[in-house]
Structure 1
Amino acid sequence: MSAAPSSGLREHAATVVVSALSTLFAVTLILFTGVMGAAIDPNIIEGSGTFRVMLLMVSAIFILIALYVGAIVTANTFATIIAGRTRTIALYRLVGSTSARIRSRVAAEGLLMGAIGAAIGFALAEGLVFVATTFGPGWGWLPAGREYPLFDPLALLAVVIVALTTWAAAWAGSRRVAAVSPIAATGASVELRPEDARGRSARTVWAWILIAIGVALLAGGILMSVVSPMALGVSFFGGLFSFTGIAVGAHIIMPPVLRLTGKLIDRGPTGSLAAANAVRFPERSARSTIGLVIGVTLVVMFAVAMESYRTMALIAFDADPAMEAALNETLGVTTAIFTGLVGFSAVIAAVGMVNTLSLSVLQRTRELGLLRALGFTGAQVRRMVLAESAQMTFAALGFGLVLGVFYGWVAAQSLIGSEVGFAAPSIPWLMLAGVAVFGIALALIAAAAPARRAVRVSPVTALAID
């Protein structure tokens, strides 16, 4: 007997896309590391035996960031899928299936979707490198007359890691299966209400412990920054612990932020309903927003860190014009590359948000049908979904901007504070404006398909759903 039903393509589309993007990113970085090694003067390579190792270490950092974001998005996707399968899972429990067996089946789905996505991403990366190495010399991108590698064994390792990460994320996202009892077969959702979400004491306690440890380390790193650049190591772990605590405790941290942004759209019946929906089930809202918070935080953090470092370095060198020109040239290129690499993680997070909102609307068919039966027009339902998407996007965007500015300043201060003392953060306003535009566009894109689906809901059909 199967432990859980096979999911439709619609449910797992985001899992395949996220796995493909993560693999494309990882394999492309690994393969282009080899291409860069072949393109650089052999004398430089021979003079530095650690050149390839250093390139791989830098690539590994960004690969880990993409895998981290991808794992969170996948876990949230599967948690949303499980919330919509409550009745089916409960029926399987009723006829004797165990939660462990059901979770194993869900994890197997994750492994299969992750493997499919990883294979697609690997093929795309190989194709990209083939085009670059075939036409690059003719276009002046790469030196001519050299042999460029098209394969690296590490690329296959990346494929395996992405598939296994998706499997682990699916297992983590399906943990709610254990809470589904046979009696839940009469219900339609296992989403926790605010009072129940706050009652998850173990998760909440761990979140606050991680945040407290992180804040203490960040404070220590800031204080140490005026005497030693080694403070960067302390601040790094402070940021890691504190942000992990925020991700773990998103179910209690995001609702207040959502309520704040909800006041901006709480106009008329559609706005009021949208504002209420975003905080009615805090776990669902947290799953929808935390991935985007991570993506925005990473992008803004790198941009603010680079800009603050440039400003502090100029102070340290007494605003030397030659030094300023060199810094502007070097950091300009570095910032663009780092922002582009980290921005890829933001794209993965955006895919997750779009999918979670789509699944949420798909699972609320009966609710939307009831609204239509009570007199809501299709246009009003569409506006409600758009407003709900805007609320979640702006909450994630605003929170991510605040965190990114703070973490970016701490990084720069910890690195060069011993030369200049305490300095205020430098804000790259153009970059922040670009992030804001990205957020507005995402709010519209994320709600487009769900809004169309919501409008097509027939009141009679929706109310007939068990």
Structure 2
Amino acid sequence: MRLRDYRASLIVAALSGAFGAALVIGTGVMADAITANSLSSKDSVKITVLVVASVFFAIAVYVSAVVTANTVATVIAGRIREIALYRLIGAASSRLRLGIAREGLVVAAIGALLGTAVVFVAGLVIVPALVAGGVLPEATYTVADPLLIAPTAVTIAMGFLSSWAGSQRVGQVTPIQALGVAAADPTRRMSGARRVFAALFLVSGLVALAGGVVLGLTSPLGVLVGLVGGIVSFTGVVMVSPVLMPALLRLTGGLLGRGPVGRIAAANAVRYPERSARSMVGVVIGVTLVTMFAVASSTYVQMMLGIGDEHPEYAAEMDQVLTMTLAIFSGLFGFSALIAAVGLVNNLALGVIQRGPELGLLRTLGFTTRQIRRMIVAESLQMTLASTVFGVLLGIFYGWAGAQATLGAQLGQGLVVPTIPWAVIGTILGLALAVGVLASLAPSRHATRGSAVAALSAD
């Protein structure tokens, strides 16, 4: 097992385990704080906290599954010749897939246990500190919650299942590929069946999401319907990404200039749609999550302030609830940003390694080391810009829908206009572009290390 190939899966599994543990501990702490507080309707607020916690964890597990499946698919793309050799000597594709799924299980177990342990230890330190600082009221708080087993087990199970799903590409490798260049077919089109399923997921998901928003006006359970709709519709976006992402890249390709480096960088990003889609989906997921949480929290704050203006007697209680909620959302921002960075860095690095022969050919044709590096950075910037703008648009929509479905009935505000934190959006765009450039530096150095002839003959 080559653990370094699964670094992204390991980190994302650790984040999911930590996310789940933080939500279990945070939910218990908030429930205890609400019990100690004099805020009215505390029972309904406790139910809402539990529902929202389950929603957030479901989102984290879903993101982990998508990133893991993409990582496994990228790893397999770099092992085509090795897999083809196994097929040539008689190995069954199902056995090879099971071996890859086992690797995913081990990686998910290590990551989930590590993430859970870190958050548990942090909880033992942070909760008393928050009480001492006056952020939390005096009460008895439980950190060692038996429910911590649940998110850890779910993260491990999803790691195995998403690895199995990502390993389906093994069945597309033929034994004859052991005798040729180990490269995926860049011209392979998205199948008609996948297009149909993607359309069904998109349409049915959007309908369910709209139903969740409407139901959320009268019941806190609207968020569960909205969650299903959000996951199903976003799955449709992921399924159609090999067609959607190149279309977005064509809109940003002209920004790279008309020189040879810019033209080749723009053409490369579109020429290999599956590879570009795998790199971009991780960024889209991360940016969508960050934007979604930013818009949801801003909309939530605006709704709470409206209630505070109508009922000044609850001002103190409102301030404490807002403080706790925004602290949780701040943690969600951090998790989401890490997921985006991990997905981008991992896929860029693996993609450049797999393109060794292609980059070696460019060097033999006269491209300098500096031009190769500029080309890789330009590709990264193009993909990052397109996926960030798209992720921001998705995040605004999902953030508003999530806040509306979750809090429409709880706060009684009816349909509200989404509150968009433009400063946060600008920061997201700037940080994403900076991460895109930084993430491309190490792969660009790797691509120009050694002789062009050695790179041209690499497997």
The two structures share one fold, judged by TM-score above 0.5? yes
Contact 1:270–1:383 at 8 Å: present in 2 too?
yes
Partner SS, residue 400 of structure 1: helix
Deviation at 1:169, TM superposition (A): 1.0
Matched, 1:246 2:240: no
Matched, 1:129 2:93: no
Partner SS, residue 379 of structure 1: helix
Separation (CA, whole Å) in 2 of partners of 1:51 and 1:231: 13
Amino acid at match of 1:71: A
Label 1:149 to 1:408 Cα distance change in 2 as closer, same or farther (>3 A).
Answer: closer
Matched, 1:454 2:438: no
Matched, 1:268 2:259: yes
Show the counterpart of 2:178.
185
Separation (CA, whole Å) in 2 of partners of 1:412 and 1:147: 30
Separation (CA, whole Å) in 2 of partners of 1:49 and 1:11: 47
2:97 corresponds to which of 96, 99, 103? 103
Separation (CA, whole Å) in 1 of partners of 2:272 and 2:173: 17
1:62 corresponds to which of 35, 56, 69? 56
Show the counterpart of 1:440.
433
Q: CA-atom RMSD, angstroms?
A: 3.8
Deviation at 1:337, TM superposition (A): 3.1
Farther off after superposition, 147-156 or 112-121: 147-156
Partner SS, residue 144 of structure 2: coil
> What is the percent sequence identity of the aligned residues?
46
Farther off after superposition, 232-241 or 14-23: 232-241
Amino acid at match of 2:352: V
Label 1:310 to 1:465 Cα distance change in 2 as closer, same or farther (>3 A).
Answer: closer
Amino acid at match of 1:14: A
Farther off after superposition, 185-194 or 117-126: 185-194
Deviation at 1:449, TM superposition (A): 1.6
Show the counterpart of 2:19.
25
Contact 1:232–1:411 at 8 Å: present in 2 too?
no
Partner SS, residue 376 of structure 1: coil
Contact 1:226–1:422 at 8 Å: present in 2 too?
no
Show the counterpart of 2:70.
76
Matched, 1:402 2:396: no
Separation (CA, whole Å) in 2 of partners of 1:11 and 1:359: 8
Separation (CA, whole Å) in 2 of partners of 1:261 and 1:336: 36
Show the counterpart of 1:159.
152
Show the counterpart of 1:12.
6
Amino acid at match of 1:123: A
Show the counterpart of 1:173.
166
Show the counterpart of 1:116.
110
Q: Give the 5 Å matches for 1:272-287.
A: 272-287=263-278
Contact 1:76–1:173 at 8 Å: present in 2 too?
yes
Amino acid at match of 2:171: A
Structure 2 residues not aligned, in runs of 5+: none
Question: C-alpha deviations, 1:18-66, integer Å up to 9, x for none?
Answer: 1112112212322344455566666879x97788765443322211111
Contact 1:300–1:404 at 8 Å: present in 2 too?
yes
Separation (CA, whole Å) in 2 of partners of 1:142 and 1:308: 23
Deviation at 1:101, TM superposition (A): 0.4
Label 1:216 to 1:117 Cα distance change in 2 as closer, same or farther (>3 A).
Answer: closer
Separation (CA, whole Å) in 2 of partners of 1:337 and 1:175: 37
Contact 2:48–2:220 at 8 Å: present in 1 too?
no
Partner SS, residue 189 of structure 2: helix
Separation (CA, whole Å) in 2 of partners of 1:138 and 1:289: 44
Separation (CA, whole Å) in 1 of partners of 2:15 and 2:408: 35
Amino acid at match of 2:428: V
Farther off after superposition, 232-241 or 435-444: 232-241
Show the counterpart of 1:373.
364
Partner SS, residue 248 of structure 2: helix
Label 1:332 to 1:398 Cα distance change in 2 as closer, same or farther (>3 A).
Answer: farther
Separation (CA, whole Å) in 2 of partners of 1:217 and 1:292: 25
Deviation at 1:403, TM superposition (A): 1.7
Deviation at 1:206, TM superposition (A): 0.4
Contact 1:192–1:282 at 8 Å: present in 2 too?
no
Partner SS, residue 193 of structure 1: coil
Show the counterpart of 1:360.
351
Show the counterpart of 1:197.
189
Deviation at 1:154, TM superposition (A): 1.9
Label 1:390 to 1:131 Cα distance change in 2 as closer, same or farther (>3 A).
Answer: same
Deviation at 1:128, TM superposition (A): 1.3
Show the counterpart of 2:379.
388
Separation (CA, whole Å) in 2 of partners of 1:378 and 1:152: 55
Show the counterpart of 2:200.
209
Contact 2:18–2:115 at 8 Å: present in 1 too?
yes
Partner SS, residue 96 of structure 1: coil
Amino acid at match of 1:116: I
Separation (CA, whole Å) in 2 of partners of 1:28 and 1:187: 49
Separation (CA, whole Å) in 2 of partners of 1:53 and 1:71: 27
Contact 1:84–1:188 at 8 Å: present in 2 too?
no
Show the counterpart of 1:431.
424
Deviation at 1:81, TM superposition (A): 0.5
Show the counterpart of 1:3.
none
Separation (CA, whole Å) in 2 of partners of 1:256 and 1:131: 48
What is the number of equivalent residue pairs in this alignment? 454
Label 1:60 to 1:310 Cα distance change in 2 as closer, same or farther (>3 A).
Answer: closer
Deviation at 1:441, TM superposition (A): 2.1
Separation (CA, whole Å) in 2 of partners of 1:423 and 1:136: 33
Structure 1 residues not aligned, in runs of 5+: 1-5
Contact 1:250–1:290 at 8 Å: present in 2 too?
yes
Partner SS, residue 367 of structure 2: coil
Structure 2-normalised TM-score?
Answer: 0.85
Contact 2:295–2:396 at 8 Å: present in 1 too?
yes
Partner SS, residue 97 of structure 1: coil
Partner SS, residue 90 of structure 2: coil
Partner SS, residue 465 of structure 1: coil
Amino acid at match of 1:207: A
Deviation at 1:71, TM superposition (A): 0.8
Label 1:232 to 1:42 Cα distance change in 2 as closer, same or farther (>3 A).
Answer: closer
Contact 2:131–2:137 at 8 Å: present in 1 too?
yes
